[in-house]
Amino acid sequence: MKTAQTNVIYGGVKKYHVRRIERLSKAGMIIRDKGYIRPTKKGLVAAGYEGDIVRIKKHQCKDRALAVELLLRFPEWNVRFGIELKRQNLLERRSQVAGIIERSNLKYAIYMLSHVPTSGNVTFMRSEMRDLHLWGIERIAVFCTNKKIIEAMTVEPPSGIKELCLLSYPAGVDSFRRIFTKDFVAFMNQRFPGLKLCARPFAHFEWQGNYITVMHADDLVKRQTLSGYLTYIQNREARKCLIVCTPGQVKELQNQFMDYDVELIIDDGTDTEIQKPTPIPKEDSPSTDSYYSIHP
């Protein structure tokens, strides 16, 4: 990790982490190299680690630090770093998984990609994603630092995966976290009073005869099944699909679904005209249990 990231470990201190790094370095517990720090074998043993030592090459330090930076942006989740899982032999040494985040009954494998993957690398990652169910992981979030990486990863989702979220970094972190917030619950309750869970694979909810799909996390599984419904079934059922999305997704979603009966509902925060529907009379206001998580 980067030297500055150790500040978080010590609870946001000002200079204490720097002094600790200096002492650990002098004691041979860590190695400092151009702004990055990593534990030595001596340091791992002192920390009580008993597994195999995973060697990190110098050119990998930047990518590892970026993965740490990403995972530290999920304070509401229980986080396990990929390097820790490899040392426990829960992941292969060449695994691309940056870490795992958990909360309640949800568990996501997190990927952090900063380079355009080769076709062989994409094939390996798809195979790895498919096998993650062996560890009870059926949801995956892939964060990409540029559009070319996103394009390379826009592939057929592996079988057995419930979610394959493909997000930009760093903006996609906020989009992903948004759907787990109380503000988003309030937005959904206000915009769709009385919405109900939907069992169809392409939608999260039903409301007034319409299907609602939340696309903040750009889930490829939902996108694929929604495309299938719109292409082969919607005309027969004559039911509109409402897609709840972020402002940054509008153009792409318009281009993809322009030929279908689809309406985009833009979640732009809590203080926009777009989000404010006609006030609901008090007697018709939904009860507090009318909203369901998109992850039942």
Show which of 171, 190, 213 is a domain's final residue.
Answer: 171
Q: In whole angstroms, give the CA distance from residue 2 to residue 30.
A: 12
**What pLDDT sits at residue 90?**
82
Residues 234 and 167 in one domain: no
Does 87 reside within a domain? yes
**What pLDDT sits at residue 290?**
46
The residue whose two tokens read 């986080």 is: 79
Return the SS3 of 1.
Answer: coil
Residues 68 and 160 in one domain: yes
Number of domains in the chain: 3
Task: Say how many residues make up the chain.
Answer: 296
Q: In whole angstroms, give the CA distance from residue 118 to residue 155.
A: 13
- Provide the residue range defining the domain that includes 117: 51-171
Q: In whole angstroms, give the CA distance from residue 120 to residue 126.
A: 10
Is 56 within 8 Å of 64 (Cβ atoms)? yes
pLDDT in tens, the chain (296 residues): 666 666 666 666 667 777 777 788 888 887 777 667 777 777 777 777 666 666 666 656 777 888 989 999 999 999 999 988 887 888 888 899 999 999 988 999 999 999 999 999 999 999 999 999 888 899 999 999 999 999 999 999 999 899 999 999 999 999 999 999 999 999 999 999 999 999 999 999 999 999 999 999 999 999 999 999 999 999 999 999 999 999 999 999 999 999 999 999 999 863 333 333 333 333 343 333 444 567 76
Q: In whole angstroms, give the CA distance from residue 235 to residue 256.
A: 17
Q: Which two tokens stand for residue 49?
A: 């680690």
**For position 144, which CATH number holds?**
3.40.1350
Does 83 reside within a domain? yes
Does 176 reside within a domain? no
Does 292 reside within a domain? no
Q: In whole angstroms, give the CA distance from residue 63 to residue 95.
A: 13
Is 206 within 8 Å of 195 (Cβ atoms)? yes
Instruction: Please state the pTM of the whole predicted model.
Output: 0.79
